[in-house]
């Protein structure tokens, strides 16, 4: 599982340094919730979380090589940070008679 890090483009690795991106995203929300001693209602909590994450988003770094994001989402294979071209699936060599 640790080697899955290398299944992504080398340019994106700087963004993959955390082991728990969800936890780091909600750290701001958790801190504010403790300071205000709870959000009150569920709707108020959702609104507070949305606004805090929206505010934190402005401080997030942009992804390096954003053109590679589409390849990652499409399932492109990367080995050691380099794109691996898929072999031709037509069979290539000799054909059976």
Q: What is the pLDDT of residues 2-21, one digit of tens each?
A: 556 566 676 666 666 555 66
Q: What is the pLDDT of residues 66-97, one digit of tens each?
A: 777 778 778 788 776 777 776 555 555 555 44
Task: Indicate the pTM of the whole model.
Answer: 0.38
DSSP string, the chain: -GGGGGGS-GGGGGGG--S-HHHHHHHHHHHHHHHTT--SSHHHHHHHHHHHHHHHHTTSPPPSSGGGHHHHHTT--EETTEEPPPPPTT--S----
Which pLDDT value is given to residue 88? 52
* Domain residue ranges of the chain, discontinuous segments joined by +: 2-83
């Amino acid at each position: 599982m640790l080697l899955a890090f290398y299944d992504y483009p080398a340019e994106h690795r700087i963004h993959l340094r955390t082991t728990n991106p969800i936890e780091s995203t909600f750290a701001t929300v958790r801190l504010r919730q403790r300071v205000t001693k709870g959000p009150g209602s569920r709707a108020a909590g959702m609104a507070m979380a949305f606004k805090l994450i929206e505010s934190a988003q402005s401080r997030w770094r942009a992804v390096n090589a954003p053109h590679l994001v589409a390849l990652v989402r499409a399932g492109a294979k990367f080995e050691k940070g380099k794109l691996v071209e898929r072999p031709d699936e037509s069979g290539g060599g000799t054909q059976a008679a």
